[in-house]
């Protein structure tokens, strides 16, 4: 690998690590999670880079893409630096022993190299209005969304009185989600998204990694809620600030996992809604 490119890649990764620390330490984690819900097509690393350079970005693309959409860059448009993967492959001779005889096969090795590109936020362009992106679920009525989530759930959702301070819980043993029955509807939605995230995506050992588990699922729930029009920022995120005290690389890995699972969750809800509408 080219020495300059190798060093440049290390510098970029370190920049991502430093920015993640800054986001968490400065108390901007909620704002960043909200930001993530707007950028489903970008990697976690690139979202960190975009956020650190242009935190108010809503839709970004390269110059050629904006031109195809009949929008031009404004004078002195702010450049946003990201990394883009370039697929590469090569053939490698592999020796194998089959039925006691040594043979040689050609195996194709695929990998990515990365180049540095600039993108621009829509606010840095002028021109024709973009077509509105459709959303399958309308969220003016959170009671409607709550019923949809209960039907969407793969396990029964039960409302009942809960002793103690918990608003809800997921029981892997009993395969059910329990929601406190005296919560407001919007609060029930927030809790149900949290517990569904436990049920669908949480693979942490809760006894040894409870903090990671809770940060993981609440982050997913926050992104999904924001995407469908519910602001859950009133929820307590104080413990998230301790996340930055651990290994920075672990933070990066967990961030990518949060993004991937949140995107899958959103897509599953939208696909479920589409299927239900077709049946109806």
- Residues 51-61: tens digit of each pLDDT: 999 999 988 99
DSSP state letters, the chain: --HHHHHHHHHHHHHHHHHHHHHHHTT-HHHHHHHHTT-TTS-HHHHHHHHHH-TT---EE-HHHHHHTTEEEPTTPPPEEEEEEEEEEEEEEEEEEETTEEEEEEEEEEEEEEEEEEEEEGGGEEESPPPPPP-SS--S-HHHHHHHHHHH-SS-EEEE--SSS-SEEEETTTTEEEEETTS-HHHHHHHHHHHHHHHHH--S-TTT-HHHHHHHHHHHHHHHHHHTT---TTS--GGGGGGGGS-HHHHHHHHHHHHHHHHHHHHHHHHHHHHHHHH-
Q: Is the pLDDT of residue 280 over 50?
A: no
227: number of Cβ within 10 Å: 22
Q: What is the pLDDT of residues 187-239, one digit of tens each?
A: 899 899 999 999 999 998 888 888 778 888 888 888 888 888 887 765 544 43
Structure confidence at residue 179 (pLDDT): 94
Distance, CA of 190 to CA of 170 (rounded, Å): 14
Task: Give the pLDDT of residue 107.
Answer: 84
- pLDDT above 70: residue 241: no
- Least confident range from 77-81, 250-254, 267-271: namely 250-254
Q: Cβ of 118: how many Cβ atoms within 10 Å? A: 13
Mean pLDDT to the nearest integer, 131-147: 59
**Per-residue model confidence (pLDDT) at position 13:** 67
Contact 117, 62 (CB under 8 A): yes
Query: What is the CATH code for 142-279?
Result: 3.30.2010
- What residue spans in the chain does CATH classification 3.30.2010 cover? 142-279
* Whether the predicted model's global pTM rises above the 0.85 cut: no
Task: Please give the share of the chain, as a percent, with pLDDT higher than 90.
Answer: 29
Check whether 67 has a pLDDT greater than 60: yes
């Amino acid at each position: 690998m080219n020495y300059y490119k190798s060093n440049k890649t290390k510098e970029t990764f370190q920049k991502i690590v430093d920015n993640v620390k800054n986001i968490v330490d400065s108390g901007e984690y909620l704002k960043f999670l909200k930001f993530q819900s707007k950028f489903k097509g970008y990697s976690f690393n690139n979202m960190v880079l975009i956020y650190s350079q242009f935190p108010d970005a809503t839709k970004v693309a390269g110059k050629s893409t904006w031109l195809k959409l009949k929008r031009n860059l404004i004078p002195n448009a702010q450049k946003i630096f990201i990394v883009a993967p370039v697929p590469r492959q090569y053939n490698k001779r592999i020796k194998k022993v089959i039925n006691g005889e040594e043979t040689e096969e050609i195996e194709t090795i695929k990998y990515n190299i990365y180049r540095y590109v600039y993108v621009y936020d829509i606010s840095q362009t002028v021109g024709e209005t973009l077509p509105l992106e459709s959303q399958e679920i309308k969220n003016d009525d959170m009671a409607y969304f709550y019923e949809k989530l209960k039907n969407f759930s793969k396990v029964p959702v039960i409302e009942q009185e809960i002793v103690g301070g918990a608003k809800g819980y997921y029981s892997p043993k009993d395969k059910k989600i329990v929601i406190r029955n005296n919560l407001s509807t919007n609060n029930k939605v927030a809790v149900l998204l949290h517990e569904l995230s436990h049920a669908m995506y949480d693979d942490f050992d809760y006894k040894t990694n409870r903090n990671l588990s809770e940060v993981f699922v609440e982050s997913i729930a926050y992104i999904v809620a924001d995407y469908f029009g519910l602001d859950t920022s009133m929820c307590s995120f104080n413990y998230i600030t301790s996340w930055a005290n651990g290994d920075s690389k672990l933070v990066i890995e967990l961030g990518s996992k949060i993004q991937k699972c949140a995107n899958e969750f959103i897509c599953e809800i939208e696909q479920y809604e589409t299927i239900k509408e077709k049946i109806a």
